[in-house]
A and B are shown apart, each in its own frame.
Chain A
Amino acid sequence: MAQKILAVHPERCTGCEKCVLWCSFIKSKVFNPARSRIHVIRSEPYVDIPMICIQCGLCMDACPIKAMNRNPKTNAVVIDEEKCTSCGRCVTACPYGVLTLDPVTGKAIKCDLCGGDPECVKHCPKKVLYYVEPNKAAYLRRLMEYGGAISIGRKEPIGPPERL
């Protein structure tokens, strides 16, 4: 079975930032969007897009002291906080702007897929985020093309069942 991936249907996003707050709460035990590993772009007239880490690993190559490793089980790139020197090179390397330095600890923070059970996915009210096998993700993407994108209208969005 192929390794699951984190994917998004931004069309459905209402911009509520639940994913952002759950991320900061689970990882840092506080509420602070600046300490989240997922971010939501909200701009006008009506753009809401969750920006996620796709685990591409460019940060891994940029880190001068090799403080990052790929977790073989989840395929996620994970930072060793002990080693991190807060130099910020990984931040420069990240093409999506989702790797940041924690404003409180100063260490680099990034999505580690919560060890294979991403918290953001569990709490998204509109089924924007999902954690599935790549081919399932592709299938869901195709489904979006006929109407799943409509976040208004009575239709319940198609997608993986809610897991709370």
Chain B
Amino acid sequence: MVLGGFAGTILRINLKNKKIIKEPLKEDQARKYLGGPGLATKILFDELKPGVDPLGPENKLILTAGVMAGTLCEGGGSWQAVTKSPLTGLWAAARSGGFFGPEMKYAGYDMIILEGRAEKPCYLWVCNDLVEIRDAGDAWGKPVPEAEAIIKEDLGEYQARLAIVGPAGEKLVRFAAIMNDLCRAAGRCGVGAVMGSKNVKAVAVRGTKDIKVNDPETCRKALIEIEKAVRNNPLYALYAYEGTPAYTGSLNAFGALPTWHDRSGYFDRWENVSVEKLRRNYLVKARACQACSYGCERYSEIKSGPYRSPPMGGPEYETIDLMGPYLRIDNLEAITRASYLCNIYGMDTISTGYMIAFAVECFEKGLITLKETEGMRLSWGDPEVLVDLTEKIATRQGIGDLLAEGVVRVAEKLGKNAMDLALHVKGLEQPGHSPRAIKEMALQYGTCNRGACHIRYHWVGNPSMFKATSGMEAYGLPDPSNISPLDESKEKAKIVVVCQNCGNVHEALGTCLFHTSSPNGETGLTIKRFAILLSALTGWEINDQELVKAGERLFNLERAFNIREGVRRKDDIIAKRWRTEKLLNGPTEGAVVENYERMLDWYYELRGWDSEGVPRKSKLLELELDEVATHLENSGISLKE
């Protein structure tokens, strides 16, 4: 029997002593943790001692692609960077699309583990069986596009695909991204800073090996079925013709578009940052990640004026919101320019936009003064501030040096009531979905293992808002048609639990989240379809229930990692503003998260966790995480039965 789908080898590179080890992928482990990204979490749990410095040499950075990556599964262009985050100090995984992940598998590796720290700036060259640590030379210090060109030139291999950090990663900006294919980013949680801290500029891969298939005929049928389901998905038109910027209008209409440092969910000048405006004036091309029917990536260009920027992917919805309405800016040219800067410096646009908004509010409240800003007035709606601060953060100049530390560290440093203004969970800054307008989002922010994150749960676009299920009724998702987004009932806790478990399935299998969302189970990439394809690829007889169980197992494993780092109930509490201040303006005016703690209690109960949020022993055993339970107990954490 061939174990198809997987590449079959784990590559471990110790940067300090330059040891390169190739380990075979263990089949039982791969099945238990659903391959690459899931298994990476297990490796991190086993190999990292609690309390290690995320930016120190003891931390490990794992680049990994799931079993579906590189196959024809829709959205199979994905890969993930799994590590301990310098922003949250907790477990982190950042997903990206493009072509890097598949290429890594064609080279023969399911994951590349980077250990230690190189003495001098270097980059890695992985071409089939050849693995080299090479001097980064001139590429160090250069923005992403230039550095990429230098490295390809150095290798003389223009078909190589690179995962690369920009100056922000080198300078350890705590929310630096790892970029690939020029403008695809593993953005959140500062994975780029971890790569920079290891003195690694890039990982270049190129491969000509096979990804095998166990049962080609069943696989062919499953792929055709998936292709049909995705192309008949009502969301197809949205992603193919508009891309994510389409959400600006729709979320605003719901009153869920975070505006003015999330004081409001509605932006009155939203038309100036709408997808229509973007499309008519600046878009030049739509592109896709590998094996994707949508092609949601937008290339835009600002041809002239102060915000001139060459053709580059973006701005995506999150960028537009955080760098636009969130700062009360309605200048799409400035937003595009700032997005371009984030791409070339290699930085998360969400956290960057957030930090600028935070700085403006602190300036308004007198916590940051003209002295710190070197005479620059920070005010709402000023595109100059956006572009200027983006550049300063990336290069750590002036006040940028402070802001590059992420919201929690900055708030601690500023003291007084700065912490009350910080909108984050576990240290990860807020993305562009209003937790007060959509209550399941509040609970998701609170309980997601990487902090305030809107995507590491199943992307049905908030079930209660869009009334969509993606066929998750079969796994316990309540019927969303009668549930209001503002409602804070037990159903919300149920929604979040089911969505997180199911969401972890596609994250671990290595596909894009957009294909999995659909109004119901008829279209879209559902868990059932995943199961059929996975069985055909690998030869395992795996069904959808087993997949969802594995999703739950992974979620608990991530939680166990965080528990070991000291996370408890207090860390699951969302920011004060969301619990106490009412939203201003728009359809959701007056909304506030009133019963957060009660929702959290329900959530813990459904999860099988105790009142402090620690998984019960029975739960861990049920999920076959016996080793993890023993480990936690041995490190002095008492588990309730």
Contact = CB atoms under 8 A, between A and B. Distances in A.
Contacts of B242: 154
B287 interface: yes
Nearest to B207: A34
Contact of A29 (B213, B237, B289, B293): B213
A164 B182 CA distance: 32
A126 interface: yes
B295 A14 contact: yes
Interface residues of B, number: 46
Given A29-B216, A164-B228, A164-B231, A103 B208 contact: yes
B72 A152 contact: no
A50 interface: no
Interface string A1-30: 000000000000011111001100110111
Contacts of B237: 154
B293 A152 contact: no
A152 B208 contact: no
Contact of A45 (B227, B294, B312): B312
Interface string B281-301: 001111111111111011100
Interface string A124-154: 0110000000000000000000000001111
A29 B2 CA distance: 12
Contacts of A31: 70-72, 210-211, 213
Given A32-B106, A33-B106, A34-B106, A16 B208 contact: no
Given A16-B293, A29-B213, A104-B210, A164 B224 contact: yes
A35 interface: yes
A46 B293 contact: no
A44 B145 contact: yes
Contact of B295 (A32, A33, A126, A155): A126
B478 interface: no
Interface string A31-44: 11111000000101
Give the interface residue-count category, chain A.
20 to 34
B137 interface: no
A36 B323 CA distance: 42
A19 to B, nearest CB: 10
B238 to A, nearest CB: 10
Contacts of B608: none
Given A16-B293, A152-B279, A30 B288 contact: no
A25 B224 CA distance: 13
B579 to A, nearest CB: 41
A26 B213 CA distance: 11
A126 B514 CA distance: 18
Given A16-B293, A32-B211, A104-B210, A46 B72 contact: no
Nearest to B310: A45
Contacts of B134: none
Contacts of B70: 31
Given A25-B216, A25-B220, A32 B210 contact: yes
A28 B242 CA distance: 36
Contacts of B293: 16, 18, 125
Nearest to B232: A164
A25 B231 contact: no
A164 B291 CA distance: 16
B210 A16 contact: no
Contact of B231 (A15, A125, A153): A125
Residue among B283, B288, B310 with the highest chain A CB neighbour number at 10 A: B288
B212 interface: yes
Interface string B237-251: 100111000000000
B31 interface: no
B220 A125 contact: no
B81 to A, nearest CB: 22
B241 A152 contact: yes
A70 to B, nearest CB: 29
Contacts of A155: 241
A162 interface: yes
Given A46-B311, A151-B286, A164-B224, A25 B210 contact: no
B569 interface: no
B292 A16 contact: yes
B241 to A, nearest CB: 5
Contacts of A25: 72, 213, 216, 219-220, 223
A17 B293 CA distance: 10
A46 B241 CA distance: 17
Contacts of A28: 210
Interface string B200-238: 000000011111110010011001100110010000010
A103 B127 CA distance: 14
Contact of A18 (B72, B208, B209): B72
Contact of B241 (A16, A22, A154): A154
Nearest to A162: B231
A46 B287 contact: yes
Residue among A18, A103, A126 with the highest chain B CB neighbour number at 10 A: A18
A48 B287 contact: yes
Given A18-B291, A32-B106, A46-B299, 20 more contacts: A14-B286, A14-B287, A16-B291, A16-B295, A17-B99, A18-B72, A21-B71, A21-B291, A25-B220, A26-B220, A30-B213, A32-B209, A42-B99, A46-B284, A48-B287, A151-B285, A152-B241, A152-B285, A152-B298, A153-B279
Interface of A: 14-18, 21-22, 25-26, 28-35, 42, 44-46, 48, 103-104, 123, 125-126, 151-155, 162, 164
12 contacts: A14-B297, A15-B287, A21-B72, A31-B70, A31-B72, A34-B208, A42-B99, A44-B145, A45-B311, A125-B231, A152-B284, A164-B228
